Amino acid sequence: MAATLHDVAKLAGVSIKTVSNVVNAYPHVRPATRERVQAAIDELGYQPNISARSLRSGRSGVIGLVLPELSLSYFAELADAVIAEAEKHGLVVLIEKTGASRDHEIAVLSSPRMRLTDGLIFSPLGMGQEDVAHLAVDYPLVLLGERIFGGPVDHVTMRNVEAARAATESLIAAGRRRIAVIGAHEGEVVGSAALRLAGYEEALAAAGIALDPDLVTFTTLWHRANGAASMRELVQSGTPFDAVFGLNDALALGALRVLQEEGLRVPEDVAVIGFDDIEESAFTVPSLSSIDPGRTQIAAEAVEILVRRIGEGGGRPSEPREVLVDFAVVERESTRGPESRAPRVEGARPGSQDSAATGV
């Protein structure tokens, strides 16, 4: 049913090689021939068969993106950015979600389902440093996140420690001294939680503020509900505090809600800052200060590096690269005084590029 190179060749009265040359924009084709072939292509509505091309050339034009979960805003926005970047390179994106399960993550790395991709952008959450060996795969792979460092692959990550330190410092600069942390992970050494906690501790130390363990709350999950629960516990414990650092925005948002339920004023009584700068944070009441970790830059770098690796082919690969992107402290109402509340609602953030009319 679908037209093939042969059909086009027959109709145009040339060989399939010539048709192939036209399809692939090979320069040395006589204009007259090209025109005739193009006419035949249009008439038959010819579409190249990607499987056949891929089988022969070893390239599918598809890259894989492996994420914990799409319904978390951070990852949804990351995926959106990756798809946009991939499109610039003429690539489409196959998304696999792992549910942050270590086993699932490891399985995906050697899954034949992923074999039709030219390379993978891999964002694990369950795997840890001890799994570094699993990353030694025989296809292009770019690692994201902060679960594994120093692996045999290119790695794009954010400046967790510095950014968390900057977040904490912004609270200290506003005169806060009793800064609670929401979302620490017990005993973790690498991983977002550990790194961000380290940044928090650095900031306190630099300001000469003693670390009060009672102010550090733990939760494995980083959803709104966990932030809310931690906050409620902290309030009920009676431990005094004048600021909250949510290790991600969802946690901070959950905490924000509970603070208000409890009748505490934000930021007058308690200042709140998050991490991730998801779109939602600009629209809550009060709007949430946060760290923009450079999400779009991460997506751009990851795709760029992957494309370069794919282009390298099987040749002796160059050294794995470790890329750190820039971050920014985004101050909003939850840390600024109420006097500076204008403009009260921000417009569309520049980060959410090419968002055309989109209902539902």
Partner DNA sequence: GTGAAAGCGCTAACAT
Partner DNA sequence: ATGTTAGCGCTTTCAC
Q: Kind of pairing, strands 322-325 and 328-330?
A: unpaired
Q: In terms of CB distance, is 190 or 207 closer to its own copies?
A: 190
Applying CB under 8 A, what is the total number of residues that bind its own copies?
A: 91
Judged by CB under 7 A, which stretch of 22-30, 72-80, 212-220, 250-258 contacts DNA?
Answer: 22-30
Helices (H), the chain: 5-12, 16-23, 31-44, 50-57, 73-88, 102-109, 160-173, 192-206, 224-237, 249-261, 295-312
Backbone dihedral region of 45: left (phi > 0), alpha (psi from -120 to 50 degrees) or beta?
Answer: left
β-strand partners of 182: 217, 246
Q: In terms of CB distance, is 34 or 257 closer to DNA?
A: 34
Q: In terms of CB distance, is 53 or 349 closer to DNA?
A: 53
356 binds its own copies per the rule CB under 8 A: yes
24 binds DNA per the rule CB under 7 A: yes
Count of beta carbons in the 10 Å neighbourhood of residue 291 = 28
Residues 60-99, mask of contacts with its own copies (x by CB under 8 A): xxx-----xxxxxxxxxx-xx--xx-------xxxxxx-x
Per DSSP, the residues of 173-228 read HTT---EEEEEE-TT-SSSHHHHHHHHHHHHHHHTTPPP-GGGEEE-S--SHHHHH
Per DSSP, the residues of 126-149 read S--GGGGGGG--SS-EEEESSS--
Residues 147-176, mask of contacts with its own copies (x by CB under 8 A): ------------------------------
Query: Exactly one of 248, 297, 334, 335 binds its own copies (CB under 8 A); which one?
Result: 248
110 binds its own copies per the rule CB under 8 A: yes
38 binds DNA per the rule CB under 7 A: no
Farthest-apart Cα atoms in the chain, separation:
86
Judged by CB under 7 A, which stretch of 6-14, 207-215, 262-270, 274-282 contacts DNA?
Answer: 6-14
Q: How far is the CB of 177 from its own copies (least distance, A)?
A: 26
Helix 160-173 with 192-206: angle, nearest 10 deg: 40
Q: Which of residues 231-250 bind DNA (CB under 7 A)?
A: none
Q: Identify the burial level of 358 via C-beta atoms within 10 angstroms of its C-beta, where 0-12 means exposed, 13-18 middle and 19 or more buried.
A: exposed
324 binds its own copies per the rule CB under 8 A: no
Give the residue from 241, 102, 337, 10 showing the smallest Cα distance to 231.
Answer: 241
DSSP at 168: H
Q: Which does 20 bind (CB under 5 to 8 A by kind): its own copies, DNA, none?
A: DNA
Q: Which of residues 264-303 bind its own copies (CB under 8 A)?
A: 276, 279-280, 282-285
Q: How far is the CB of 36 from DNA (least distance, A)?
A: 9
Judged by CB under 8 A, which stretch of 5-13, 162-170, 203-211, 221-229 contacts its own copies?
Answer: 221-229
Q: How far is the CB of 115 from its own copies (least distance, A)?
A: 5
Euclidean distance between CA atoms 203 and 198, whole angstroms:
9
Q: Which does 14 bind (CB under 5 to 8 A by kind): its own copies, DNA, none?
A: DNA
Q: Which residues bind DNA (CB under 7 A)?
A: 2, 4-6, 13-18, 20-21, 23-24, 28-30, 32-34, 46-49, 52-53, 55-57
